Structure 1
Amino acid sequence: MNSNEVLARAEAVLQRHGTAPRMEQRVRAAQRRSAARKAMRIVWAAMAILLTVIIAGFILPTGVGTTGVMIAGLIFLLVALGVIMMPGERQPDAAALPTTALAQLPLRTENWLASQRALLPAPAQRLSDGIGLKLEALAPQLQTLDEREPAAAEIRRLIADELPELVKGYGRVPVALRREGVDGMAPDKQLIDGLTVVDSELARMSEQLARGDLEKLATQGKYLELKYQGDVLG
């Protein structure tokens, strides 16, 4: 299959999900939450310093004076700078996904995939948005699924192991080799192929869970046949 056919398949999948970049929205929402928390910390620091200056003004016989105000201002600037330099929200960790409770796994995987979105080529980004939608839909279906069910192991294998390994394997490829690859194996194309398989597998799993076909889900898993798990993305 050539690159044009791969892109056509990717676009066909995207049409089923719409074009809203849901994962990008999640990343931006996380950034806004982080910025809001930092702003609140700066406000609280300013209030604490102001209150300290007011109290000191009443206690000290000569008040705080110009020097005191300057010192308070310097302290505030240092505190504000420290808050701004603090890291934002902790990035999701793919290594924690295999041990995450099944009920929480889809959203944890979606959050991790959202954190990787900027590293993916544009068609893969849009595919990852569609996968994110399917993970959101899958989450409530797993709330009552027993971890001991073979179907649970099938789902966990796909979204906690195979999907992260696909994306991480792509990330390990040098940027200069991602479009062309080596020996005709283009990582960009392979990534899109793999994400397309993940997308269709998630749709199948969700449909079978909705029908209660747990046995069929456990025995008819197609798995990711990642022929490029070896030299190119390995």
Structure 2
Amino acid sequence: MAQVPSRVSQDVVRAARRQRAARIYNARKEQWRFRMRRLRRAFLAMAGIYIAGLVAALALGGVSFLATLLTVLLGLAVFVVLSIFPASPRTHVEDMNAASLPELAGATELWLEGRRKALPNAAVDAIDMIGVRLEQLSPQLAVLDERGPAAREVRKLLTEHLPGMVDSYTRIPAQLRGRAGSGGTSPSEQLVDGLCVIADQIEAMSEDLSRNDVDALATRGRFLEVKYQGEE
């Protein structure tokens, strides 16, 4: 079975998991804040409808039972709709493409976190390592020229190669994902190996950016293209 490369120590993996736990905790807190804001908005809208109905009844000297019933039902319907919509925000590939460079690492991590349940358990360590590498890369992206070749290579890795690999795996029927193919490895093992390569490439790109080595970045981009085309 494919595993995270041995050069990645277990201490690093444990640190990655701790960082992931902290990120998930913060993300869940933000989700609860979003839900509470949504409920507060729904309650205020319902209260506004009832207050408006009460004011109208006082101004008109009373209203019919049917008007009262319709007002109550309208308030309840508005509360239900506003307490459900808009749905909690989720990151899609389109959001990653539209993200600015300073936002790209965070958008990629949120997207990958949302796909975690669809991936095999063996990929957990590799996903955690990608999260750590993205955190390392994020400060460098904040000062990178959006129109430069380095930005294009980073975007290609995070918005094309990574989503393409994950989406290709999830399109495979579940009963076939653990079955070895003609190359002797299963789709699940290939996915884990590919995620490890992505994690290594993100780290290498971060090192290239720290040296301002644009040529090395371009070489890594061509390597990934050849590798994925060969696997497909």
- TM-score, reference length from structure 2: 0.78
Aligned-partner residue type, residue 186 of structure 1: S
User: 1:154 aligns to what SS in structure 2?
Assistant: helix
Deviations 1:33-61 (A, max 9, x none): 44223202211222212321331232121
Distance change >3 Å, CA 56–CA 148, structure 1 → 2: closer
| Alignment map for 1:88-99 (pairs within 5 Å) | 88-95=87-94, 97-98=96-97
User: Unmatched 5+ residue regions in structure 2?
Assistant: none
Counterpart-to-counterpart distance in 2, 1:8 and 1:208: 21
| Alignment map for 1:208-223 (pairs within 5 Å) | 208-219=208-219, 222-223=223-224
Q: Which residue of 1 aligns with 2:52?
A: 52
Instruction: Judge conservation of contact 1:22–1:129 (CA < 8 Å) in 2.
Output: no
Q: Which residue of 1 aligns with 2:109?
A: 110
Instruction: Judge conservation of contact 2:13–2:125 (CA < 8 Å) in 1.
Output: yes
Counterpart-to-counterpart distance in 1, 2:140 and 2:87: 31
Instruction: Judge conservation of contact 1:178–1:188 (CA < 8 Å) in 2.
Output: yes
Give 1:191 deviation, angstroms.
Answer: 1.1
Q: Which residue of 1 aligns with 2:177?
A: 178
Identity among equivalent positions (%) equals 31
Aligned-partner residue type, residue 117 of structure 2: A
Give 1:190 deviation, angstroms.
Answer: 1.1
The number of residues matched between the two structures is 226
Q: Which residue of 2 aligns with 1:135?
A: 134
- TM-score, reference length from structure 1: 0.78
Counterpart-to-counterpart distance in 1, 2:16 and 2:138: 17
Counterpart-to-counterpart distance in 2, 1:153 and 1:208: 14
Deviations 1:15-50 (A, max 9, x none): 352343456446635642442232022112222123
| Alignment map for 1:1-234 (pairs within 5 Å) | 3=1, 6=3, 9=6, 12=10, 14-19=13-18, 20-21=20-21, 24-25=24-25, 28-29=28-29, 31-61=31-61, 63-64=62-63, 69-95=68-94, 97-98=96-97, 100-183=99-182, 184-219=184-219, 222-223=223-224, 225-226=227-228, 229-230=231-232
Distance change >3 Å, CA 120–CA 102, structure 1 → 2: same
Q: Which moved more, 1:66-75 or 1:153-162?
A: 66-75
Distance change >3 Å, CA 97–CA 8, structure 1 → 2: closer
Deviations 1:176-203 (A, max 9, x none): 1112243333111111111111111111
Distance change >3 Å, CA 205–CA 92, structure 1 → 2: same
Aligned-partner residue type, residue 116 of structure 1: R
Distance change >3 Å, CA 119–CA 170, structure 1 → 2: same
Counterpart-to-counterpart distance in 2, 1:27 and 1:121: 22
Distance change >3 Å, CA 197–CA 149, structure 1 → 2: same
User: Unmatched 5+ residue regions in structure 1?
Assistant: none
